Structure 1
Amino acid sequence: MAMALPSVPMSARRRRIRSKMDVPLLIPLAMGALEFLLLRIPPSPAPPPSPLRHRRRAAAAAAADAGILFREKLLYLEHELGVDPSRALALNPSLRSAPISSLRSAASLLLAFGLLPSDASRVFSQHPHLLTSDPSLSLLPSLRFLLGPVAIPFPHLRSAVLRCPRLLASSVPLQLHPTLLFLRRVGFVGPRRITAHTALLLVSSVERTLIPKLDFLRSLGLSDRDTNKLVLRSPSILTFSVDRNLRPKAEFLTQQMGRDAVELKAFPQYFSFSLEGRIKPRHRMLKESGLAMPLSEMLKVSDGEFRVRLVDMRLRKFDEYWEDNS
């Protein structure tokens, strides 16, 4: 006998069938609700830039700006100051980082004291460290010293600087002032005071340059007074080298020419003439002719005039010989 299955109430069966029918309808509704919710959710913020990347970009921008400024500096040095940038940078590496305003300040100060742009070019080409030095601590004290204690007239200041740009690169308390005091003791005062033509002596070292040269002149038999008079009459002697100029010429004067060093008192400019180019050739011509003349007459005249005088002296000597033997 077959076993009877339990019966399911009709209301429950209808609910089960309805729920199976509603599933396909609920899926689209759920998807739409999800999209709606996604639209309502704000987007996530972008991640902050990497600090390393930011620093790299900033460094690249700074490098580009620095390159532009450096090129501008090179153009200013070459075209406006007339300074060779390569040489200036080699002698003064600080120029690479110095602002162009410091270069302009140094140049403007020289122009304010009467120098021309071409003069500034000469000064900075020889002493490029002045371009990066504080002008109020480097250039200005030297310029004021030349105008003040040295008493070089303002119109002559440019001439003094052009003859010796090193004047503007020398320390006033350590170099210029001590040397000025020494030169005044030698006799460079009053009518013989330091001028634009002799201001270059101020850059000489008293101990290493000036005193050894004065000592050498005294070793020739000159007194202190005569030595001082000699350099006052011919200040350029103090710029000559003892070994390359003074000693060879003094030895030739006394040993080869047979003259006394006392003659230098009358003609101290002897040391200014070339030993090989003028002194030796003219002494040889006089010696070959058996003649002699004072140092000043022997050296100051041109070659043509010297030959004319030499011919005149030969004729006079011949006339004297003829008269004595007639």
Structure 2
Amino acid sequence: MRVIASALHSTLCSLSSQKSDNPTTSTTIATTSASLSLEKPKGILQKHPQYSQTHTNISLQFKEKILCLEILGIDSSKALALNPSLHAASLHSIQAIISFLQSKGIHQKDLPRIFGMCPQILTSNIKSELNPVFSFLSSELRVPEHNFRKVINKCPRLLICSVRDQLKPALFYLHRLGFRDFEALAYHDPVLLASNVESTLKPKLEYLIGLGFTREDAIGMILRCPSLFTFSIENNFKPKVEYFLGEMKGKLEDLKEFPQYFTFNLDKRIKPRHLEVLQSGVEMPLPLLLKSTDQEFNEFRSGLFKVALLNDIYDVSIMSSIYLEH
């Protein structure tokens, strides 16, 4: 099925690039579109919000553009809505971008997700916008060409970022904070490079400092857990800090030692486990509370509960360390 879709896409794009004033070519395009419309694409076009059979003023090229996007696995209505420039883009220019990305190691099966997340790529300028991004990955982050695909799939948004105005300033800021492992930055946290320094990165750091951490401690937390830079202050930091300090009676020192606390879901992980431990009347270190699997958590909780009972009866507190080591 994938091979057929690829062939159809290539056929349509090839046909549309030929001269439209050639009677034979025009007939071939019309015949191709008609034959395709007898099958699945007919439903695609008829149901598409920007096309119906009554829209006689819509050009054949636009219909083919919708068809090609859908054959590629791209939601054309969403792509057109998020990137209005696609209305005027030619099939030839779209095919050129696809060919360019494939020349950089991007697979066809990657395209639906990449274009689905960032349809602006479909109308990017190859020379002034796309190529500089790959040069940046190679020269600044030392990413070999055969690993371009891995980085782009991790963060497609890199392809719509300006190297001069976005990627280089972000890299400079992160390097100044202490990020030295560019390989980890490229393969695991490339989204940080696509984050605005002034409106995204700095406010997160300042928020942590505002909680009472020293600047050095706050930076240390981010270096150990870079995903802190990706979390929303309002939707992640504030509710989790409020619960930790209020309900869990935790201390900032615990968060400094275990900043990964913010990576766990408040309602599905933090609250339920805290309440279970609270009801058991035992104490559990924050990493153990959240990082353990459900089975490990239940075993530890049960073991600690038994130790607590023994402590009350026999005052054998040394046994708790045995369970913790286990």
- If the TM-score is normalised by the length of the shorter chain, which range does it land in? 0.7 to 0.9
Shift of 1:302: 1.5
Aligned position for 1:218: 209
Aligned position for 2:178: 187
The amino acid across from 1:265 in the alignment is K
Aligned position for 1:280: 271
Aligned position for 2:195: 204
Relative to structure 1, is the Cα distance of residues 152 and 223 closer, same or farther in structure 2, using a 3 angstrom cutoff? farther
Structure 1 residues 215-242: Cα deviation after superposition (integer angstroms, max 9, x where no partner): 1111222111111111111111110001
Q: Name the SS of the counterpart of 1:138 in structure 2.
A: helix
Relative to structure 1, is the Cα distance of residues 297 and 109 closer, same or farther in structure 2, using a 3 angstrom cutoff? same
Aligned position for 1:29: none
Percent sequence identity over aligned pairs? 40
8 Å Cα contact 1:184-1:193 kept in structure 2 = no
The amino acid across from 1:203 in the alignment is A
Question: What does 1:7-18 align with in structure 2 at a 5 Å threshold?
Answer: none
Structure 1 residues 42-90: Cα deviation after superposition (integer angstroms, max 9, x where no partner): xxxxxxxxxxxxxxxx9xxxx99894433333332221x3222223233
Relative to structure 1, is the Cα distance of residues 95 and 118 closer, same or farther in structure 2, using a 3 angstrom cutoff? same
Instruction: Return the alpha-carbon distance in structure 1 between the equivalents of residues 253 and 91 of structure 2.
Output: 58
Aligned position for 1:70: 62
Question: What does 1:168-317 align with in structure 2 at a 5 Å threshold?
Answer: 168-190=159-181, 194-317=185-308
The CA RMSD over aligned residues, in Å, is: 2.6
Structure 1 residues 167-222: Cα deviation after superposition (integer angstroms, max 9, x where no partner): 10111111111111101111111478622111111111111111111011112221
Runs of 5+ consecutive residues of structure 1 not aligned to the other structure = 1-57
Question: What does 1:48-59 align with in structure 2 at a 5 Å threshold?
Answer: none
8 Å Cα contact 2:141-2:183 kept in structure 1 = no
Instruction: Return the alpha-carbon distance in structure 2 between the equivalents of residues 278 and 133 of structure 1.
Output: 41
1:82 aligns with 2:73: yes
Structure 1 residues 267-292: Cα deviation after superposition (integer angstroms, max 9, x where no partner): 11110011111111111122222211
The amino acid across from 2:192 in the alignment is L
Relative to structure 1, is the Cα distance of residues 289 and 90 closer, same or farther in structure 2, using a 3 angstrom cutoff? closer
Structure 1 residues 90-128: Cα deviation after superposition (integer angstroms, max 9, x where no partner): 333433433321111100111111111122222222332
Shift of 1:251: 1.8
Instruction: Return the alpha-carbon distance in structure 2 between the equivalents of residues 261 and 240 of structure 1.
Output: 18
Shift of 1:248: 1.3
Instruction: Return the alpha-carbon distance in structure 2 between the equivalents of residues 253 and 213 of structure 1.
Output: 18
Stretch of structure 1 that moved more, 156-165 or 223-232 = 156-165
Relative to structure 1, is the Cα distance of residues 84 and 67 closer, same or farther in structure 2, using a 3 angstrom cutoff? same
Instruction: Return the alpha-carbon distance in structure 2 between the equivalents of residues 226 and 90 of structure 1.
Output: 44
Q: Name the SS of the counterpart of 1:203 in structure 2.
A: coil
Relative to structure 1, is the Cα distance of residues 197 and 191 closer, same or farther in structure 2, using a 3 angstrom cutoff? closer
Q: Name the SS of the counterpart of 1:194 in structure 2.
A: helix
Instruction: Return the alpha-carbon distance in structure 1 between the equivalents of residues 246 and 310 of structure 2.
Output: 31
Give the TM-score normalised by the residue count of structure 1: 0.75
Instruction: Return the alpha-carbon distance in structure 2 between the equivalents of residues 259 and 126 of structure 1.
Output: 38
1:95 aligns with 2:86: yes
Q: Name the SS of the counterpart of 1:114 in structure 2.
A: coil
Instruction: Return the alpha-carbon distance in structure 2 between the equivalents of residues 87 and 324 of structure 1.
Output: 66
Number of residue pairs matched by the alignment? 266
Give the TM-score normalised by the residue count of structure 2: 0.75
